[in-house]
Amino acid sequence: MSDAYILGIESSCDETAAAVVRSGAHVVSNVVASQIATHQPYGGVVPELASREHLRAIVPVVRAALAEAGQTYSSVDAIAVTQGPGLAGALLVGITYAKALAFALDKPLIAVNHLEGHIHAVLLEEREKGNHDVQFPVLALVVSGGHTHLYLAQLRDDSWTYENIGHTRDDAAGEAFDKVAKLLGLGYPGGPIIDNLAPYGDPKAVKFPSAQIKHLDRRGIQNRDIQSKNSDPAPSVPRFDFSYSGIKTAVLRHVEANGMRAAIEARRKALTLIPKPKLEDYLAHCDQHTLHLIASFQRAIVLDLVSRTLAAAHAHEIATLFVTGGVAANRELRKTFEQQAAKEGLPVFFPSRPLSTDNAAMIAAAAYPKFLSKNYAPLDFSAEAGLVLR
């Protein structure tokens, strides 16, 4: 089959993104317009502002992606767009534009789950490196601002299926990074700031209790095919859920108990006056105790993510591990996964750091198997804020 050029469009949260990917394996262009400056004063994403910014950016971003790829509206073979999960108003901007393009140009339209996109960011880059031979079963940890999910991924007849074997019961890991950064007066988004500051503190200085999650919770396996097809008792494979609201509360208690409030307020004010604070600016406004707290917080989250994921990998006897989503950009998380997985002889793959956070190349890549099997979306499909990945 000849090469297929898919235009991907992503607008689920606070990045307006468009990309052209060739045959699910080569990024031809990848444009991301970030809204960080818009949301920064509020310490988090404001949904109404996100929709407004997407409306402003969508046309120029798509044009830029086509131009960089040397393509035109009419030369691409299909249009892929994120259907969900995400902010409904933000998703609708991308979906409405993608539908209009598909209708006007008479091109196939492909709806993609954002979480499947994150998983395909890994596959896309492995194919780019020439690795076409991923061993199954695959376990994928999708860890971002909105999600902390573990999926068992299977490839059957060129189409991917997913079984969720764990998710967060409360805050996502990225959300914990963002909330703790806000609590410490560091600004938004918290993940990259904490990632950069953590090496300057002692990760053993502050002790955090590990999340109290009951692992042997069998709700997640009630509906598995295996049970409906034979009468064997339920296999004792536990669910691997996460919980990060406790650690955020523990940081808050530490702040209160150590009288850190006034210094945090001073830091917040000082940093808001700097248009684009650099690492030196953050360091100049953080005392050593705060840096220890940041390092200890990051270490606690990283160890929890790694240990639960590896426990799931053992229980399901998986052959390959994918770690993806915004938090997968975290350097300590990558290093710890690499070290621990190597000890167990388990291959672990991450997207490059730019493809870890939201982008449209991953959406165009995830659309490719659907393009091959002509799994097109009807023109009346809509945004699904809580879309489940199966």
Binding site for ligand KG4 (CB under 6 A): 13, 144-146, 174, 177-178, 189-192, 195, 325-327, 329-330, 357-358
What's the token pair of residue 209?
Answer: 């209790």
Q: Is residue 19 classed as helix, strand or coil in its secondary structure?
A: strand
Residues within the interface to Zn ion (CB under 5 A): 144, 358
Smallest gap from Cβ 332 to Zn ion, in A, equals 20
Smallest gap from Cβ 118 to Zn ion, in A, equals 6
Backbone phi, psi, residue 14, to 5°: -115, 20
CB contact at 8 A, 286 and 197 = yes
Smallest gap from Cβ 34 to ligand KG4, in A, equals 10
One-character DSSP codes across 374-389: T-PPPTT----TTPPP
Q: Which is nearer to ligand KG4, 329 or 360 (CB)?
A: 329
Choose the contact partner of 190 out of Zn ion, ligand KG4, none; CB within 5 to 8 A by kind: ligand KG4
Smallest gap from Cβ 146 to Zn ion, in A, equals 7
Q: Which is nearer to ligand KG4, 108 or 189 (CB)?
A: 189
Smallest gap from Cβ 144 to ligand KG4, in A, equals 3
- The DSSP output letter for 349 is E
Residues in the chain: 390
Q: Which is nearer to Zn ion, 178 or 358 (CB)?
A: 358
Q: Which residues contact 196 (CB under 8 A, 6 or more apart)?
A: 279, 282
Q: Which is nearer to Zn ion, 15 or 126 (CB)?
A: 15
- The DSSP output letter for 364 is H
Choose the contact partner of 320 out of Zn ion, ligand KG4, none; CB within 5 to 8 A by kind: none
Q: Which is nearer to Zn ion, 126 or 358 (CB)?
A: 358
Choose the contact partner of 329 out of ligand KG4, Zn ion, none; CB within 5 to 8 A by kind: ligand KG4
Choose the contact partner of 348 out of ligand KG4, Zn ion, none; CB within 5 to 8 A by kind: none
Q: Which is nearer to ligand KG4, 24 or 146 (CB)?
A: 146
Q: Which is nearer to ligand KG4, 8 or 108 (CB)?
A: 8
Q: Is residue 114 classed as helix, strand or coil in its secondary structure?
A: helix
Q: Which residues contact 307 (CB under 8 A, 6 or more apart)?
A: none
Smallest gap from Cβ 327 to ligand KG4, in A, equals 4
What's the token pair of residue 58?
Answer: 């969508």
Choose the contact partner of 174 out of Zn ion, ligand KG4, none; CB within 5 to 8 A by kind: ligand KG4
CB contact at 8 A, 159 and 172 = no
Q: Which is nearer to Zn ion, 76 or 93 (CB)?
A: 93
What's the token pair of residue 51?
Answer: 């929709």
One-character DSSP codes across 138-197: EEEEEESSS-EEEEEEEEETTEEEEEEEEEBSSS-HHHHHHHHHHHTT--S-HHHHHHHH
Smallest gap from Cβ 387 to Zn ion, in A, equals 13
Smallest gap from Cβ 114 to ligand KG4, in A, equals 6
Choose the contact partner of 94 out of ligand KG4, Zn ion, none; CB within 5 to 8 A by kind: none
